Amino acid sequence: MNIAVLGTGTVGETIGSKLIELGHTIKMGSRTNTNEKGLAWVQKNGSQASLGTFAEAATFAEVIFNCTKGVEAVGILKSIDPNALQNKILIDLTNPLDFSNGMPPSLSICNTNSLGEEIQQNFPELKVVKTLNTMWCGLMVNPSLIGDELHVNFICGNDEDAKSWVKELLRSFGWKNNQLIDLDDISAARGTEMYLPLWLRIYGATKNGAFNIKIIS
């Protein structure tokens, strides 16, 4: 399948390389189609990999991964012709981390709204599915890295068919059904995004970012 990965950071590179390994064809999107990190990624990932502007990547794709910086996501999507977004699934795994006042980051949007909702409200033509935003990117594409305990990945979104499709893709990443916790509509993105400050403190306390949570009951 033709998939766009918006963003040339570590998350975008990790997701893009995993999708190529799974046989998909990926156009990574950046501000320019000559972005150095993007070109380096393409060179490493062979003929299924290419680079384009955000708009070129979205136009090329049937499904879009949003791996941009959370605080820039809405502006980037607004720079794309709405026709290139029409009826497409957007998998949003970003968090609205605001580093403008230094460390630790605060959230640029939270509590009574979330980035997931903000994207869905601004782009009703997209089917936004929020997932994978509660962990380090190495675990996103390789959940068994930390053993076979049933640590979880949350998923939410307003479109049931889109969520079903994304769950199938997540299973191809290695996620088992009973690791996928469906939190219902996109407003649950408030919960998963607001978990980030706790995630950062756990990371600070344990000095290990390769962790995730399991629900015990």
Residue 182 interacting with its own copies (CB under 8 A): yes
208 makes contact with its own copies (CB under 8 A):
yes
- Print the SS3 string covering 110-159: CCCCCHHHHHHHHCCCCEEEEECCCCCHHHHCCHHHHCCCCECEEEEECC
Q: How far apart are CA 199 and CA 178, in angstroms?
A: 22
Q: Residue 64 in contact with residue 127, Cβ under 8 Å?
A: no
| Residue of 39, 55, 74, 146 interacting with its own copies (CB under 8 A) | 146
The pair of three-digit structure tokens given for residue 175, joined into one six-digit string: 């996620």
195 binds its own copies (CB under 8 A): yes
- Quick one: which of 39, 55, 74, 183 contacts its own copies (CB under 8 A)? 183
Distance, in Å, from the CA atom of 41 to the CA atom of 193, rounded to the nearest integer, reads 28
The DSSP output letter for 26 is E
Which residue stretch of 17-25, 33-41, 74-82, 186-194 sits at the interface with its own copies (rule: CB under 8 A)?
A: 186-194
Q: How far is the CB of 15 from its own copies (least distance, A)?
A: 21
With binding defined as CB under 8 A, does residue 28 bind its own copies?
A: no
DSSP letter at 7 equals -
Any contact of residue 149 with its own copies (CB under 8 A)? Answer: yes
Residue 213 as a binder of its own copies (CB under 8 A): the answer is: yes
Q: How far apart are CA 7 and CA 13, in angstroms?
A: 8
**Residues 105-144 close enough to bind its own copies by CB under 8 A:** 106-107, 110-112
By beta-carbon proximity to its own copies, the closer residue of 61 and 196 is 196
Burial of 98 (0-12, 13-18, 19+ CB in 10 A): middle
Assess 215 for contact with its own copies (CB under 8 A). yes
Q: Does 91 contact its own copies by CB under 8 A?
A: no
Is 217 near its own copies (CB under 8 A)?
yes
- Dihedral through CA 10, CA 38, CA 25, CA 129, nearest 10? 50
Residue 184 makes contact with its own copies by CB under 8 A: yes
Closest approach, Cβ 157 to its own copies, in A, equals 13
Shortest distance, CB of residue 212 to its own copies, whole angstroms? Answer: 5
**Phi then psi for 101, rounded to 5 degrees?**
-105, 25
Cα–Cα distance between 177 and 169 in angstroms, integer?
11
Task: Write out the residues near its own copies by the rule CB under 8 A.
Answer: 101, 106-107, 110-112, 146-147, 149, 151, 154, 156, 181-184, 188, 190-192, 194-195, 197-202, 204-206, 208, 210-217
